Amino acid sequence: MKDEFTNEGLPVHINLGGHLVPIQRVDEVPGDDDEHVFGHYDPKTMSIQIRKDLSPAMSGEVFWHEVVEAINDMYELKLAHNKIQTLGVALHQVSQCLSTTSETPSGSSPSASTSTSPESTGSSGVAPWDLVPD
Ligand SMILES: [Zn+2]
């Protein structure tokens, strides 16, 4: 029955702190008294449950939230939940950039000079456009 286990863009498991944390899509998430009923990180089994009836964007956001929850638990960061929330949203945004920038710019610029000596340009790291004339 593992064949119908689809995670739709999410990994089946993540490696976190030397542990293999399974990402499980479920019908309902335990802990109905919790404020986030879309996902759950279970510290006892070290697994993440995410509702399967979520949109891809929502499930991605829940996924990253629970990843931060897992990191928070494993490394005993004791983050306040609003910080977990913010980190989850931010990581989700960054992760979306990963899929859109799959092409590397491939900087194949011709090597103008064979820099045999690592002499600096003498400008001490200041770009020319930063130099304001008098
Ligand atoms: Zn949470």
> pLDDT of 74-103, one tens digit each?
999 999 999 999 999 999 999 989 876 555
Judge contact between 84 and 69, C-beta under 8 A.
yes
Q: How far is the CA of 124 from the centre of ligand 1 (A)?
A: 47
Residue 2 pLDDT: 42
pLDDT band per the 50, 70, 90 thresholds, residue 30: confident
Ion ligand 1, residues whose Cβ is below 5 A away: 36
Note the pLDDT of residue 125.
Answer: 57
Dist. CA 126 → ligand 1 center (Å): 45
User: Is 2 in a helix, a strand, or coil?
Assistant: helix
Q: Please give the distance, rounded to the nearest whole angstrom, from the Cα atom of residue 102 to the centre of ligand 1.
A: 30
User: Quick check: 10 and 65 in contact, CB under 8 A?
Assistant: no
Q: How far is the CA of 84 from the centre of ligand 1 (A)?
A: 7
Beta bridge partners of 22: 13
* pLDDT tens track for 52-71: 999 988 999 999 999 999 99
CA separation for the pair 134, 125 (Å, rounded): 20
Q: Cα–Cα distance between 1 and 43 in angstroms, integer?
A: 25
Cα of 99 to ligand 1 centre, how many Å?
A: 25
Going from the Cα of 1 to the center of ligand 1, the distance in angstroms, rounded, reads: 29
CA distance 86 to 127: 35
CB neighbourhood size of 101 (10 A)? 9
pLDDT beyond 60 at 72: yes
